[in-house]
Amino acid sequence: MKLTRRLSLVLAVILVLGVFTNAKTISVWLTGHSNEEMSIIREVTETTFTSKTGISVDYTNLSWGDFENRFLMAAASGEAPDVGGAGALFIPELGLRGALVDLTTMPGFNEVYNRSYPAFYRSLQYKNVTFGVPYTATVSTAFQRDDILNDIGIKSISTWDELRQVLPKLQAKNSNFALQWFLTDTLYADVNMFMWQRGADDYNDDLTKSGYDDPEAITAFTDYVELYTAFL
């Protein structure tokens, strides 16, 4: 199964061979940023990091299409960057192959850890080892056209049940509803949304077993699929 990016990205330390403060330049690979975003990242790095430490940062921006192969080949060849940003689902795979440093052993980790919600680390930790830290996150939001809803006598939609009831009326007026799938490639974001709302998750609490056979997870997946098979 191909690993793709999740709601959050991570900044992972990859094959660190020395202490950054002793280096003049460090290499950082990031994934999936636009040219504008990279310009901002470089500017912020220069003003808040390089100007204070004297350490330059050499950035490389990878695409979502080949970042996994690039990191795997770099780790295998011993030519990995000092720091890498990649999809959160991919980080543990690198860590379990011995290509990442346990960040809990690094000075200042607790301070960095406390900047984020603990749940952000769920996919970045295994057996008390932390392979990465989140540096950005995506939030799923819902929005609706009040004017279109008002035309069919609906004030607002607040629940999935209300949506299912309203959809036939919307579709009769050539309007519809869309989840992220088909608009983006983040299928898992839609599935997880339904699962989390029912208290289910991808894994059990100690990450030793899949959570997909949990009754609540099955119900959530059924609800998600039926939006397409019965309503959309």
Residue pLDDT, tens place only, 191-205: 888 999 999 998 888
Q: Count how many domains the chain has.
A: 2
SS3 state of residue 134: strand
More confident residue, 113 or 216: 216
pLDDT bucket at 89, cuts 50 / 70 / 90: confident
The pTM score is 0.72
Tokens of 116: 């984020």
Tell which of 110, 137, 164 closes a domain.
137
Residue 56: closest CA among 84, 82, 17, 85 = 82
Q: Does 126 lie in the same domain as 213?
A: no
Tell which of 116, 137, 158 closes a domain.
137
- The fraction of the chain above a pLDDT of 70, given in percent, is 86
Q: Does 100 lie in the same domain as 30?
A: yes
pLDDT bucket at 18, cuts 50 / 70 / 90: very low
Does the residue 3 lie in any domain? no
Does the residue 219 lie in any domain? yes
Q: Does 89 lie in the same domain as 160?
A: no
Q: Residue 16: is its pLDDT beyond 60?
A: no
Instruction: State the chain's mean pLDDT as an integer.
Output: 82
Q: Show Cβ contacts of residue 161 under 8 Å, excluding neighbours closer than 6 positions.
A: none
Q: What is the CATH number of the domain that holds 124?
A: 3.40.190.10
Q: What is the pLDDT of residue 3?
A: 34
Q: Given the structure tokens 């894994």, which residue do they identify? A: 203
Q: Residue 107: is its pLDDT beyond 60?
A: yes
Domain of 158, in residue numbers: 146-231
- The fraction of the chain above a pLDDT of 90, given in percent, is 30
pLDDT tens for residues 164-200? 999 999 999 999 988 876 556 566 678 888 999 999 9
